[in-house]
Structure 1
């Protein structure tokens, strides 16, 4: 099992909303809804480029902005991160079933370490962070790295995602994909399964999704 973090296991996108909006104001601008949605599932470098372009200040140093944002989000994470509905129960069930499990996120290690206080470090055999791979989502590198670290081919894995970038990454790696909607609407391919939430999802359901035997509704996520 390969789990995305932000928006999939924990409801952290709202905290990113706060920090990104504050950074834009700090720079004397205002972050548009369109730019914020485009950032979901992306890495820090892409997020900084989108923010600076959106507020009309492309000349700003992305490393300075990234440091400010990391510090603010770390404080918000430390104050408490909420689980997405059903995510904690599903993760416990996956671990109880003895399934090798990886956390695969575009978020950088420093922030992931804070989030793991909520998620539980013991729930993951492998943790792949955005600043530890050669390329981030939508590139397949994060999921390929996670599968390799677990000692299995990606085609033997099921990824749980919430964003277009994450879905593209997992599919490109060859993994089966289950999408649980968060804040972004996007079209999904015929081989991608979608559920409204993780509430009530069982390990047997995951096996059915992986094998293609479970015809869960598809169409547009969000």
Structure 2
């Protein structure tokens, strides 16, 4: 394990609860109500996919100018919520400190746009990360592999040498597509199991040695499947 690649929303900070608020507010602005089913489908989605889903769900004309304005409104609203600070997910600050103490390179890999990510980093601590990759900085957001591939390249390692940590179906698919073994710590949505992923209830109690064991086990299993 040469590096650890962290998702942000729902993995390090429990910001998905704030997205619940802002998405519900957007639906109100557009004359609708956000259903639990649609909200679950949006966990981990890119900004583009989110707005497209909202307009489809509400039966609105997919006018590019209107969709761009809705995207701007949603992110401005969410930015105000972020200003009050972000609650940590269990065990996240302790794990970041443990990895930093052993000088293990870390990257933040998120579908959230750079403007919001910078505000979140005020709470998380940007000093932990040697690289950060945001959803508006790659051609395709998660579930495409672009963000994870870019993060690994910025760290100078292959994706297969990195352990990704994710909470969503979308993010896990992106990391796996890039070639990373994945530690899945579900937050709001159940994530199915798979041969290149391991589940944990939370980050609490995990340290660098635990992550190395998880990475080694997943790498061995991949090797045995390829043989």
User: Deviations 1:11-30 (Å, cap 9, x if unpaired)?
Assistant: 00000000000110111110
State the match for 1:134 in structure 2. Answer: 139
1:33-44 pair list within 5 angstroms: 33-44=36-47
State the match for 1:108 in structure 2. Answer: 113
Q: Give the Cα separation in 2 of the matches to 1:59 and 1:47.
A: 13
Cα RMSD between the aligned structures? 1.3
Q: Give the Cα separation in 1 of the matches to 2:121 and 2:207.
A: 23
State the match for 1:151 in structure 2. Answer: 156
State the match for 2:187 in structure 1. Answer: 182
Q: Compare the two structures and name the one with the higher helix fraction.
A: 2
Comparing 51-60 and 135-144, the one that deviates more: 51-60
Q: Please report how far the alpha carbon of residue 176 of structure 1 lies from its aligned counterpart in structure 2 after TM superposition.
A: 1.2
Of structures 1 and 2, the one with the larger relative CO (CA 8 A, separation 6+) is 2
State the match for 2:60 in structure 1. Answer: 57
State the match for 1:218 in structure 2. Answer: none
Q: Which runs of 5+ in 1 are unaligned?
A: 215-222
Q: Is the 8 A contact 1:143 1:154 kept in 2?
A: yes
Q: Is the 8 A contact 2:182 2:198 kept in 1?
A: yes
Q: TM-score normalized by structure 1? A: 0.94
Q: Which runs of 5+ in 2 are unaligned?
A: 220-227
Q: Give the Cα separation in 1 of the matches to 2:193 and 2:148.
A: 19
For residue 12 of structure 1, the aligned residue among 15, 33, 47 is 15
Q: TM-score normalized by structure 2? A: 0.92
User: Deviations 1:133-177 (Å, cap 9, x if unpaired)?
Assistant: 111111111100000000001110000000111111111111110
Secondary structure of the corresponding residue to residue 212 of structure 1: helix
